[in-house]
Amino acid sequence: METTVIIGAGASGLLCGCELAKQQANVIILEQSNKSGRKILASGNGRCNLSNTNLDMYFYNTDDKRIEKIINDFNIKDYFNQIGVLTRQVGTLLYPRSNQSLTIKNALMNNFDQVALIEECQALKIIKRKNGYLV
C-alpha cells in the first residue's frame, strides 16, 4: 500500500489527513514545529471564524474556474457537521458552536489513529523517483 506524506500540519494538512484517514490510507504528516494547527488555534481570536456565508468570486483576485467550483460545491458547514462540529452563525460569519478553535483542530484530528503525525520534523527535500517520491 502506498504512503501519502503531507508536509505541514496546518489547516490544509490536517484536513487532508482527516480525509485520507477516512479512507484508511497510510498517512504521515511532517510538521516542522512542535505546534500542529497553530494558526487554527489563533484564528478568529481563538474562536476560529470557519467561513463566511457571503462567498463569491467577486472577493477573489482570480477568475480561476477551479476556485469557483470549490466555492460553489464545498459546503463548509455541512462538512464540519459531518465530522462532529456544530456551528453557529453571527451575521455572515460561521464559528464552531463551542466558540473555541480547539474544537476544529480536535475534530480534524479525531480519526488520526492510523495517521503518523511527526512534529519537529522539517521536510528538506522532495526527490522524484521512478516509483514515487523520496521526502
Contact 92, 54 (CB under 8 A): yes
**Least distance in angstroms from the C-beta of 36 to ligand FAD:** 7
Write the DSSP symbol of residue 43. H
**Least distance in angstroms from the C-beta of 100 to ligand FAD:** 13
* Nearest residue to ligand FAD, scored by beta-carbon proximity: 10
12 binds ligand FAD (CB under 6 A): yes
Among 26, 33, 75, 82, binds ligand FAD (CB under 6 A): 33
9 binds ligand FAD (CB under 6 A): yes
Among 4, 5, 7, 76, binds ligand FAD (CB under 6 A): 7
Could you give the 3-state DSSP secondary structure of residue 34?
Answer: coil
Reported as type and span, the H/E element at residue 46 is helix 38-46
Distance CA(49)–CA(38), nearest Å, equals 15
| CB nearer ligand FAD, residue 12 or residue 24 | 12
Mind giving me the DSSP string for 1-24?
Answer: --EEEEE--SHHHHHHHHHHHHTT
Among 4, 5, 28, 44, binds ligand FAD (CB under 6 A): 44
Q: Choose the binding region for ligand FAD from 43-51, 69-77, 81-89, 110-118 (rule: CB under 6 A).
A: 43-51
- Tell the burial category of 92 from Cβ atoms under 10 Å away from its Cβ (0-12, 13-18, 19+): exposed
List contacts with ligand FAD (CB under 6 A). Answer: 7-13, 30-33, 38-40, 42-44, 48-49, 122-123
